[in-house]
Structure 1
């Protein structure tokens, strides 16, 4: 597989999983757009990756829930590099609560970032990919795209929805060489997961240690967190796999937390 000189937009890539994916792509010679809500952090990440090389990077400020912001970011990409070969829709947040206590505003916020963001970035990139007869669209799902956990009604709903979106994109994009896939990580110890540990401990009435050992890692085969590098490797695989053989499919990377 080869992604050298491919133009890749990665949302939510100023840190965490998104940054690891961007770093992996740049290491393979790709040109990566660091698209993030935090402009300063995006600029910093892009500068770091440019210095590492051998690929290239530049930053765009992007609120993935804003069609105007998404369209502007994709337009800036086309203006700078003339094409878009890979979209990684990675931006996301987490809010945990019981259904009866889940604020409707929080529900809408979760679905907007995870689902609206995936839809809007896909809508903006897909015409360019179709015109150039090829492209990869990669959604950041979760084991919760396949499974459910208490306190995560909005997150589970959104992550399940990404599977459906990917399948439709695969059907519509197939004859144009546009592929769609979903990465489904297990628990990755990012700031998003760190934030969940005390929240779940409080809601479930257990210790933070039990949240980690029993809730997050209890179903794994080795009591290990999935790493950002693990997920970046899967994202590299999907970006470089250039036939329709795997389009519409998802891969779970969870140390056995969930198996198909």
Structure 2
């Protein structure tokens, strides 16, 4: 198994992309912390993945420093170490910039950027302490490289994740820690499903047109990326055996945002 004897924290792991990543990691031999704001759902997912031997659920608000530190401490207490962080927790709000409320702007950036920083810092301290190396994986987006209307703070945050990963790659190299970004296209999660009617209303078009002419317009085949696509790519990055793959971004998008 590709992740035999590895320990991972996956944030936002009680649903969507995070859940698929956590499940695949367990199948590949890892022990996984299901880190999510919803304690009940995190516990349920952990039980579904085999219980305490394979997974534990921990409630954490990734913007709360104390909760993040506690999550990492509980993971180490349960599993003895941390090898992999998947910083996946995220939210989305759709609105034109001139109407965007400052509180909503700050909230979105806090979840994506503060959350990535706080979880990274806490995990790096553990990885550095024991000199075991590690892999930090950020969930970016094609919006880490491209821009779309109505998504000002999201695009800003996802661009910021790219910069953070590059810094972690440089600082972590001496400790055997790699950092990379997975950049999915549109994935049919609740986060994306919520955007469809919101964008239809803002743009004055049908929901079908949002899907066809906004979300999937630049793909090569008009298809959504799947949670399985993203999880398999994350596994590849997590299991990579050397520092040859660090400070990089991998786009998983059916051709949208070709480099």
Of 70, 77, 80, which residue of structure 2 is paired with 1:79? 77
5+ residue gaps, structure 1: none
The residue number in structure 1 matching 2:14 is: 14
**1:71-220 equivalence runs, <5 A:** 71-133=69-131, 134-220=133-219
Partner SS state of residue 2, structure 2 = coil
Kindly tell me the number of residue pairs found equivalent between the two proteins. 258
Partner SS state of residue 75, structure 1 = helix
Give, in whole Å, the separation in 1 of the partners of 2:94 and 2:216.
18
The residue number in structure 1 matching 2:34 is: 34
Give, in whole Å, the separation in 1 of the partners of 2:238 and 2:128.
16
Give, in whole Å, the separation in 1 of the partners of 2:145 and 2:127.
28
Give, in whole Å, the separation in 2 of the partners of 1:27 and 1:77.
19
Give, in whole Å, the separation in 1 of the partners of 2:183 and 2:118.
20
Partner SS state of residue 259, structure 1 = coil
Give, in whole Å, the separation in 2 of the partners of 1:135 and 1:104.
36
Give, in whole Å, the separation in 2 of the partners of 1:20 and 1:57.
13
The residue number in structure 2 matching 1:235 is: 234
Cα deviation for residue 2 of structure 1 reads 2.2
Cα deviation for residue 218 of structure 1 reads 1.2
> TM-score, normalization: structure 2?
0.98
> TM-score, normalization: structure 1?
0.97
Give, in whole Å, the separation in 1 of the partners of 2:194 and 2:94.
10
**1:36-55 equivalence runs, <5 A:** 36-50=36-50
CA RMSD of superposed structures (Å): 1.1
Partner SS state of residue 257, structure 2 = coil
Q: Which runs of 4+ in 1 moved over 6 A?
A: none
Give, in whole Å, the separation in 2 of the partners of 1:24 and 1:127.
26
Partner SS state of residue 74, structure 2 = helix
The residue number in structure 2 matching 1:225 is: 224
